[in-house]
Amino acid sequence: MRGLEIPVQLLMVYFLVHLRFVGMMFTSPLFLATAMPLPFRFLCAVLLTAAAAGAMGTETVVPMVLFESWISIFVLALRELLIGVALGLLAALPLTAMQVAGEQIGTAMGISMASVMDPLTQRQTSIVDQLQFLVGLWFYFRWNGHLLMVQSVVESLRLIPLAKASLAPAGDMGLGEWLSAAFRLAIKIVVPFYCALLLADIGLGFLARTVPQMNIFVLGLPLKLALGFFVLAAALPLAVDMIYEQMDRWIEFALSSTMAWR
């Protein structure tokens, strides 16, 4: 019986590590593209699990007493899945801010009603929202953000031990700070558009008072669209720079937040 315990322990270690990678890959916007089929994502999680668990060494085992009932097994599995989900969601704050900013920009420009199907998330989004997200996603891969996400899961294996049957995190994990930071970053991206379009509305208002024969509604829409796209071309590189500055910070924040399960 003693000889059978070690293979079972190692199997459970691989299973729990696999759930942590699955939680990250199925919630992070980096890996949610529908072009990546579901079996392929599972296969990637299996390969990453083999590499990560092999790097941990054979001394990492889970006490067999934790597998005496299905309830304890379920609690362990759900805990590892939630840790992976938290890493995938919290570390993707710059991409979330880009999406929120895209929605606000589309509303300010007046093209939010023209929604399109996003092939990555399979939901209706505005054109600017999709553009902002795709640009942020491209640069995230360009800066090896996907490798940093995988590295964060591997680092979490060292910081947060596997063999602990505690389902609820100790604290709020800094969710309030995360939401306020996402809102602030989105506002920083949107402010140039709001200022430019506000000045355009003021100018159109003066024009409507001085030349009442002119149809301001017909003139205003193409003018605001042209101004919005001009500001978008000028401000998008600045938004990319802000993402680059925030990427490492929020991966570290995700790791520190998941320490609540330690």
Confidence at residue 176, expressed as pLDDT on a 0 to 100 scale: 79
Nearest-angstrom CA–CA distance, 54 and 89: 26
Q: Which domain holds residue 171?
A: 2-261
**What pLDDT is recorded for position 4?**
46
pLDDT (0 to 100) of residue 166? 67
Q: Give the pLDDT score at 3.
A: 46
Residue 61 pLDDT? 53
Closest of 67, 49, 70, 54 to residue 5, by C-alpha:
67
Of the candidates 22, 67, 69, the one whose C-alpha atom is nearest the C-alpha of residue 47 is 22
Tokens matching residue 50: 């083999």
Question: Which residues of the chain, if any, have pLDDT below 70?
Answer: 1-8, 33-35, 54-69, 112, 114, 116, 118-122, 163-171
Angle between helices 216-258 and 145-159 (to 10 degrees): 30
- What's the total number of domains in the chain? 1
Asked whether the CA dihedral 126, 131, 134, 137 is positive or negative, the reply is: negative
| pTM, to two decimals | 0.81
Strands 123-126 and 115-118: antiparallel
Residue 76, SS3?
A: helix
Residue 135 belongs to what H/E stretch? helix 127-142
Amino acid letter, residue 5: E
- Residue pLDDT, tens place only, 45-59: 888 888 887 666 544
Q: Of 113, 93, 53, 76, nearest to 186 (Cα)?
A: 93
Would you state the pLDDT for residue 58? 45
d(CA 98, CA 137): 10
Alpha helices per DSSP H over the chain = 2-25, 38-56, 70-90, 93-109, 127-142, 145-159, 175-210, 216-258
Structure tokens at 246: 């925030």
